[in-house]
Chains A and B, each alone.
Chain A
């Protein structure tokens, strides 16, 4: 139990909250890396996933990619890329993007694919172009599942960005690796608590956003814009 109080002591130490290795800097690095990675992964995976869901072509490939990616050990991809591109942010960002793509891709595909084909056909029958069907019918209806995929990808990246500190001087994971090397249990546990808290907060926030979007889709009357139309 004295380790817990030591960890809180470490967290409360004002020296840990200043400078280039301070908690605010590390937290900002962690969040910026996560943001860049999730952004890149979404730019790649959302259009592909939505297109596959819309055309119903290539679903097998999406499933295979998502399944195979789970078998690849995260740490392996990080260390391999770290050896290939050296110390710096390029290797972890690329590795994390590869890890984030399957979840986002699977979510985007599943969200669009699950829509009743009669709905899309009805939109087609009233003369909507394919692009308008995708943008105004399928994406809004599939949004809860698509956001679920983004949520899974984000959580995975925040967690794995911790491991990225093994190959780059970046993010909250540094405290874990530094603590492990120095046998500093207060720093190790304090750092672990920071990462866990960050992940849990993100999970709760993203889950709330997903629930809110789902509510808007399943019960559109609750949204004000729709009420005005009626």
Chain B
């Protein structure tokens, strides 16, 4: 606590750096993973190998990947692009499967009806498939956001700024309070960004919120019927 009282001014800057490293990777991951997921869903022949590669990429440990990117691209250890590339690799690997699931969850009849009404391929994607895939997509983006925020801390080992610095600096100086602050601040940041993604998802799909409200009484009766039985 004493450490926090004396050093709290450092934290906003570290949070800002942490967010600066997280957001681009999250955005790039969504932009890259959604089309790949859609392709994997539409073309089963490509889908299998694509999902296999994604799960292999996700299996690569983080520090070795960061180091490999560092050495192979010749980027500086402190360049944010080193982290952005590494985090995007994980983000895409994590999100491709959920994207494929999200498009698979779209009712086939709705999709076919849109085609029958004369929507072009692009129009079906933007105005029918993508909006209907958003709820499942958002659940995947939330998982990916939390994992990205947590992974940014590993960058501290190669000299990247962010809340991970509290972990390495606190460990080297033997200040448990500094490390604990880093852990809690990172977890809090992850929860906050997760909440923001959830709210964005709700705002993008107002119809799901309305359906929930309508669905409630039905659920209550089913549950009370179970209690009676």
Q: Which residues of A does B touch, CB under 8 Å? A: 3-4, 7, 67-68, 70-77, 79-80, 82-84, 155, 158-160, 162-163, 166-167, 173, 176-177, 179-180, 185, 188-189, 191-193, 195-196, 199-200, 202-204, 207
Contact = CB atoms under 8 A, between A and B. Distances in A.
Q: How large is the interface on B (under 10, 10 to 19, 20 to 34, 35 or more residues)?
A: 35 or more
Contact of A203 (B56, B71, B158, B191): B56
Contacts of B154: 73-75, 163
Interface in B38-63: 55-56, 59-63
Contacts of A195: 61, 63-64
B29 interface: no
Contacts of A204: 56
A71 B191 contact: yes
A174 to B, nearest CB: 12
Most buried by B among A76, A77, A166, A207: A76
Contact of B64 (A68, A74, A192, A203): A192
Given A155-B59, A166-B157, A177-B157, 12 more contacts: A72-B183, A72-B186, A73-B151, A73-B164, A191-B64, A192-B65, A192-B67, A192-B71, A193-B64, A196-B64, A196-B68, A199-B60
Contacts of A80: 176, 179-180, 183
B17 interface: no
9 contacts: A73-B164, A79-B171, A159-B59, A159-B60, A163-B63, A176-B67, A179-B67, A196-B60, A200-B56
A177 B158 CA distance: 9
